[in-house]
Structure formats: structure tokens, C-alpha cells
Amino acid sequence: MLEITGGDSSHDRPGLDLVAVLDVSGSMAGAKIAKAKTAMLFMIKKLSSIDRFSVVTFSGDAIRLCPLRQISENSRKELENLINGLKASGNTNITAGLQTGLKVINDRSLRRGRSVGIMLLSDGEQNAVVMQPSSPGTILMAPVPFSPMPHRELSGFASCVLVLKAIADNSIEGTFSEVQNTANLSIAFSQCLAGLLTRVVEDLKLTITRCGDESKIQQVIAGSYPQSKNDTTGSRTVTFGSLYAKEVRKVIVDLLLSPAEQERGAGVLEISYS
């Protein structure tokens, strides 16, 4: 059995590029926008100096209020002032908000070794494109780690709830949360953010290769994680995706060893990861 364990220190994780896409349409007025501000301020406090943060708002159209900002004492105060100044009015165009958020991610000049995420907050009352509104009393939150989902899919659903869920389902490790009580919004945000901030490795791949003629790999058991085989070398590669702090991944390898007439030492496997 092979076992991989994520580091237990927050310093082991890659820096996070996080884009918050916020609904500031008229339906968010009052308690909703107030709770959204509180949740956003809480989130900004949880980010560290290795992280970058951008804010996109949308109503009838979308606006990037600030580019990705490195978190520092000064930028944290500026971001807090930006959030506190938000006001709700106008129609709702979720599509424009997401497209603008994706553009922030796509336009980054510094990408290598960084984790990315888009966190979308909307009450789902879409009325700027052709979709039916969902329940007006519901806040919807979908933290969406970036994936190249075609934008055209955003306008083909009959319900905004289905749209937000589909965005999360079609994203890498995306999740969808429906928060019926706005008092729980900060809790929902903290749970989603915790996943992003404890990710220590992205796109983890484990490659298992036999050593010469000493062994033959019969099978590799890695649960539901996808794996591929190199027909030339016989090696197997398991794709784990993200690995989180203190998380353990286990792989069982069935080996056929060459015959031995007496006790001897021999290398039977080569293990590498990327």
C-alpha cells in the first residue's frame, strides 16, 4: 500500500488567487447585501500575504472593482472600504458577472504555482437574460474553482438554481450551497474558503513504475480516482487532483514478483509524483 499525506502547515499551500463575484442588483437590497458584506469582510480577514483578491460586482452589467490585489495591511483596509461601499440596485446579470470573473483569472500574468477560485454570491433572481427567477428568499452561493466551461451554457437553463449548480458541477471540485437563512451566510463562506485555504497541492499525479524485470504491476486500486497506463513502460499514473492539509490518499498496488531461490534485496517499484 502506498500512502500520501498533505502537509499540516498553512505555509505549505500555494498562494490563492480568489475572485469574488457579487450580486448587487435591487433584489439584494436590505438584509441580503448587509449579510453579504459581513461575509466578504470575514473572508478578507482570513486571507494571508501569499494570497491575492479581486472583487467583481454585477447588476444589469458587471464591473471589476479592483484587479487581483496582494493581501497586505494596506490593501486589506482598501478592500474592506470597497466592500463597505457597495449598494444594491438594478437588474441581475449573472452571466456578465461570471464572464468578468473568468476574465480576471484568464488575464493573470503570474500563474505558476498558484491556486485559483471564483466565489459567486447571488440570490438567483436572474432578470437580465432569458431565465426564470428562483425563489426570491434564497441566497445562492457557488464557490467555483476555475475550469474552462463554455459561456454559452450559462443561458440554456430554465432555472437559475440549475444554472448555479451546473456551473459548480462542471468546475474542478466546484461546490454549490443554497443558504436559506442569510444569518448563516458567513458560516457557509467560511466552510467554502476553508477548502481553498487548506489546499496544499493542485493537480497531484502519482506515477508507479516497475523496476526492470524484478516485478510486474498487476493492478492499481485507487478508488474512483482516474488512472492511465503507459503501454511501453507498464507504468500507471493516478490523478488525484487537489490534496488538502493532513489529507491522506491511499493506493493499493498488486505486484507479481520474479521467482527467488534465496533471500535477497531488490528494488521492485519506482514512485514519483508531480
Predicted confidence (pLDDT) per residue in 202-261, tens digit? 788 999 888 877 778 888 998 888 899 988 888 899 998 878 777 788 889 888 877 777
Q: Are residues 267 and 144 in the same domain?
A: no
Domain termination site, one of 147, 180, 197: 197
Domain termination site, one of 148, 179, 197: 197
Q: Check the CA dihedral 219-225-230-235 and report its sign.
A: negative
Please indicate whether residue 108 or residue 127 has the higher confidence score (pLDDT): 108
Tell me which residue range forms the domain holding 132. 14-197
Q: Is residue 97 part of a domain?
A: yes
Say which CATH number the domain at 142 has: 3.40.50.410
Q: Closest by alpha carbon to 245, among 2, 5, 3? A: 5
Output the pTM of the full model: 0.65
Q: Are residues 217 and 173 in the same domain?
A: no
**Residue 46 predicted with pLDDT over 90:** no
Q: Given the C-alpha cell 485555504, which residue does it identify?
A: 197
Quick one: 255 exposed, middle or buried, by C-beta within 10 A (0-12, 13-18, 19+)? Answer: middle
Q: Are residues 94 and 213 in the same domain?
A: no
Lowest pLDDT segment from 54-68, 103-117, 128-142 = 128-142
Domain termination site, one of 197, 219, 234: 197
Q: Are residues 181 and 217 in the same domain?
A: no
What whole-number distance in Å separates Cα of residue 207 and Cα of residue 197? Answer: 26
Number of domains in the chain: 2
What is the mean predicted confidence (pLDDT) over 15-34?
88
pLDDT confidence of residue 74:
95
What is the mean predicted confidence (pLDDT) over 161-180?
63
What is the mean predicted confidence (pLDDT) over 30-51?
88
